[in-house]
Chains A and B, each alone.
Chain A
């Protein structure tokens, strides 16, 4: 029968925590395949085996989005019987007429009475006896037929790459500031890839931003949630606060002060829901609020780490990832920047922290932050 064989790399190195990581990965795999029938997930040394009565190819599409997996392959699982192993090897190799091959055997199960090299040789010669137009090349083969001798025998020829990273939930929780643009969902995804569970916060300013802009952010969360977690989206009604900033703060500082307020609000949400870090899509120098001086000013309001995984990336690199993960087409829907009245015509590029603090003196932001209306939306994939 066919089983899906999953390889995971990095987390095998994690010493005492290893079983914690592995168990998390197993749970995330089960979650990814929850709509499939007859799913059995089994963990043995350094491998996870998945069986399902549904189409294995569809299961692989799901597994390609599970962080922590480095390789996925469909393997044939047979009894520890040489004839069965031969038949199965021949069946696999029939797909490769005209190609060169070699057999690579691993034998964790030492009770099997042949050594790895012997097994490879025996299988190889059976293949040559039964298939005319394949030949052996041990140095530079077109195809490697892998054979693993465990409590059963597993045979497979090609492996597709997994997405890598670490299982979601193994590296704590963080709150990402999602704008609806291209960058912030990529930043969220990159931290999810490192095993961080995320919650999202979006600042909604009706009538300056419209309902469709909010839907866009919900759709971005939905796309992100395909990578292994339901996402709680906190929608902050921000209009009155923005108007207050407009009224009380110097025009050229409104953007930087608004950013500081957003960080404060996000940090409050993070504290409330047990997150220990913030994530932003900032990339150094991309816009006025992302200069080193501006980041210094926005960073100064927070007490938790702020992850900026895009900080050293070019826009084109960010775009490339957003296309790969499927958020790009959502991000480019044109409902974003209709609140330009809040962006000063001449924003300050190198703000001075003392000046900024002075600039928000008139603003009773603690009062505003504590009275903000926040809707929570649970977004499932």
Chain B
């Protein structure tokens, strides 16, 4: 049996998505900028896809800009705002548990002379609202905080964070929504977010496509210059197969959100309960089981090397990911697991399970049974 439990790394592309993409390559392959009918047809499809994305996010379609994925969306959001706002200040706020595509942009900006505040998180992965409030000053131009942490599934309190921004405040609020959109409810109509990044391949769409929501009126500059596509914000001929795929994936998520969310949460609970009852010395990392994102479960199996367990599971067709690449290289330890205060043994034994709606109860039960066998076996052979 093949059980894919690494959906936070990437997901299987939905068949309906593939079909739409094939059509965009074989039939409606025109360039939306072309003056002729072939181009016109492509432009129509482009608009429709943009609407599908906007509907899922709860925004206007002209606030959606296609990019090459989550990394580019995060880079564009941060660098684009910094470029247009640097006269207003030089201070940025983020957290210690962001994705590298945020953290490494911030590090680079520090080298360029900007001040960055990296907020701590508590042992469940939540940012402290008071600390955040205190960090904001009159030189702050951007705060960038993820919606759902990719390793432990913490859902940051975006509503409360957004409310910290007063009417008079000039800074912008960016959210990395890559692991959140389609899994938890984010409705941009009800929450004061200025920029939101999403990625196609994390939600059963293709790789190489993503989008950035930019609220109307936000001052942002491009980071790529060229033919002026995407209202001048992101030049380059539109990746039509990717865009169509992302649109279709978003449409699916929108239409089935409630059902999917419930299904994911039930599968996660089943996996967690099974592990807790079958495998001693297994420890939940991150938020309480009912509070985290419905698709992410992070467990430390004490006395086991995560990487070895990963490969042992792989032999039985089960695919997961770990909290560190190899214990002999300490610098590869997860910055997220360190930030929530886990010690070396917990980090070394950490496994992330990330679910999708394609998983079944039968798969989860199989995974629990194999996990139990493998963890027991590996625990017999400890370093001595």
B307: A residues at CB distance < 8 A: 210, 338
Contact of B305 among A211, A243, A338, A345 (CB under 8 A): A338
User: Judging by beta carbons under 8 Å apart, are B325 and A334 in contact?
Assistant: yes
Contacts of A208 in B (CB 8 A): 308, 311
Which residues of B66-102 have CB atoms within 8 Å of chain A's CB atoms? Answer: none
Distance, CA A209 to CA B225, complexed state (A): 46
- Give the complex CA separation of A337 and B381 in angstroms: 16
8 Å CB interface, B9-42 against A: none
- From residue B319, how far is it (CB to closest CB) to chain A in Å? 13
With an 8 A cutoff between CB atoms, is A359 at the interface? no
Interface majority SS on A: helix, strand, loop or mixed?
Answer: loop
| Chain B residues, CB < 8 A from A334 | 325-326, 329, 332
B384: contacting residue among A206, A338, A345, CB under 8 A: A345
Q: Is B192 an interface residue (CB 8 A)?
A: no
Tell me if A172 counts as interface (CB < 8 A to partner B).
no
Whether A340 lies near B383 (C-beta < 8 A) is: yes
CB-nearest residue of chain A to B384: A251
What CA separation (Å) do A173 and B214 show in the bound complex?
67
**A interface with B by C-beta (< 8 Å):** 206-208, 210-211, 243, 246, 251, 334-335, 337-338, 340-341, 343-345
Would you give the shortest CB distance from A335 to chain B, in whole angstroms? 8
Q: Is the CB of A341 within 8 A of B315?
A: no
Contact B326 A345 (CB under 8 A): no
Could you say which residues of chain A place their CB within 8 Å of the CB of B332? 334
Interchain nearest-CB distance for B310 vs A (Å): 8
Q: How far is the CB of B9 from chain A (nearest CB, A)?
A: 16
Query: Which of A206, A207, A335, A341 sits near B383, CB closer than 8 Å?
Result: A341
Chain A residues closer than 8 Å to B382, beta-carbon distance: 341
Interfacial residues, chain B to chain A (CB-CB below 8 A): 305, 307-312, 314-315, 325-329, 332, 381-384
CB distance from A92 to the nearest CB of B (A): 51
Which residue of B has the minimal Cβ distance to A212?
B311
Q: Which residues of B contact A340 (CB under 8 A)?
A: 327-328, 383
A-B contact pairs, 25 of them (CB 8 A): A206-B311, A207-B309, A207-B311, A207-B312, A207-B314, A208-B308, A208-B311, A210-B307, A210-B311, A243-B381, A246-B381, A334-B325, A334-B326, A337-B328, A338-B307, A338-B326, A338-B328, A340-B327, A340-B383, A341-B305, A341-B381, A341-B382, A344-B384, A345-B383, A345-B384
Given contacts A206-B311, A251-B384, A338-B328, 8 further A-B contacts (CB under 8 A): A206-B315, A246-B381, A334-B326, A334-B329, A338-B307, A338-B308, A338-B326, A343-B383
> Which chain A residue has the least Cβ–Cβ distance from B307?
A338
Contacts of B326 in A (CB 8 A): 334-335, 337-338
What are the residues of chain B within 8 A of A344 when measuring CB–CB?
383-384
Distance (Å) between the CB of B315 and the closest chain A CB?
Answer: 6
The chain A residue with its CB closest to the CB of B328 is A337
Residues from chain A with a CB closer than 8 A to the CB of B311 are 206-208, 210-211
Report the minimal beta-carbon distance from A340 to chain B, rounded to whole angstroms.
6
Q: Top 10 A-B pairs ranked by shortest CB distance?
A: A207-B311, A207-B312, A341-B383, A251-B384, A338-B326, A337-B328, A210-B311, A207-B308, A341-B381, A208-B308
Residue contact A207 to B384, C-beta cutoff 8 Å: no
